[in-house]
A and B are shown apart, each in its own frame.
Chain A
Amino acid sequence: MPTKTEVFDEYLKTFDYQERKDMKIQLPEFFELYAKGEAQLIDIRFNEEYEAWHIGFGDHIPLNELPDRLSEIDKSKMIVTMCPHYDRAEIARLYLKLNGFNARYLTNGLLGVVEYLRGDKAKDYIDKIKG
């Protein structure tokens, strides 16, 4: 078994143009996959941030609790990590990736989601995912 550091070294050394694309997902593609039940969305903000406000779908696992809560993550789905912008989401994505998950970070972040899902768009999307 390679050590965690070796896994990270290897990942970095093989980081190429394809991986640069594969590390992230844009909103339209995410919305589609999530509606089809093929993606798990994880808000990785701190508890205090989540308490202050959160969106009405997806899961919440604070970044620093991820190592102890990997069992809550569905290996069969694409994992999409999310924070207000994308800096912490990228750390979470990297951690999950190095632990064998198929993970991407949401480029537009939570702020992008709420900006996008306004008015009718919010109604349509929530209707769609609640079936």
Chain B
Amino acid sequence: MQEFIKNVIPSEMKNMRIEIDEFIELYNEEKCELVDIRVPLETKVWQVNFGLKIPANELPERLNELPKDKLIVVACPKADRSNMARTWLATQGYEVKYLSGGLLGLMDSLKGGMAKKIKI
């Protein structure tokens, strides 16, 4: 974590997060996996019908569910908890980014006919 923090420099910032359009592109090419890290009560209210659902606090026990050969994209409603989970996964050696704009941004960009943009 200490090293991690010291390496946060301006040119590295964009490597921490992924924009929604780029995420959709990579997801369609099967080059990334989405991980919804919301808590169970939140996922009960509304679900994303693709990607994995692993609450942030269960990540340490469920690491084996994450594909090793894809970019991991973590997401929460906005971007605070996903950023935290990204930091943790990065310390575990994963290639990982958090979804800029969050799940709310993703749902917003998949409105109406745009929903067809993502290959499920």
- Chain B residues near A92 (CB-CB < 8 A): 5
User: Could you tell me if B8 and A88 are in contact, using CB atoms closer than 8 angstroms?
Assistant: yes
Closest Cβ–Cβ distance, residue A105 to chain B (whole Å): 7
Question: How far apart sit A16 and B16, CA to CA, in the bound complex (Å)?
Answer: 24
Chain A contacts for B79, CB-based, 8 A = 86-87, 90
Taking beta carbons and an 8 Å cutoff, which residues of B are in contact with A? 1-2, 5-10, 13, 16-17, 39, 56-57, 59-61, 79-81, 83-85, 87-88, 91
Alpha-carbon distance A14/B60, docked complex (angstroms)? 11
- Knowing A8-B91, A64-B7, say if A14 contacts B80 (CB, 8 Å): no
A123 nearest CB across to chain B (Å): 32
A67 touches B6 (CB 8 A): yes
A contact patch SS: helix
User: For chain A, which range describes its interface: under 10, 10 to 19, 20 to 34, or 35 or more residues?
Assistant: 20 to 34
Which residues of A are found within 8 Å of B8, using beta-carbon distances?
63-64, 88, 91
Q: Is the CB of A14 within 8 A of B57?
A: yes
- CB pair B56 A90 closer than 8 Å: no
User: Does B10 lie within 8 Å of A48, measured CB to CB?
Assistant: yes
Chain A residues near B17: list those with CB within 8 A. Answer: 87
Residue of B nearest to A48 (CB): B10
A39 on the interface (CB 8 Å rule)?
A: no
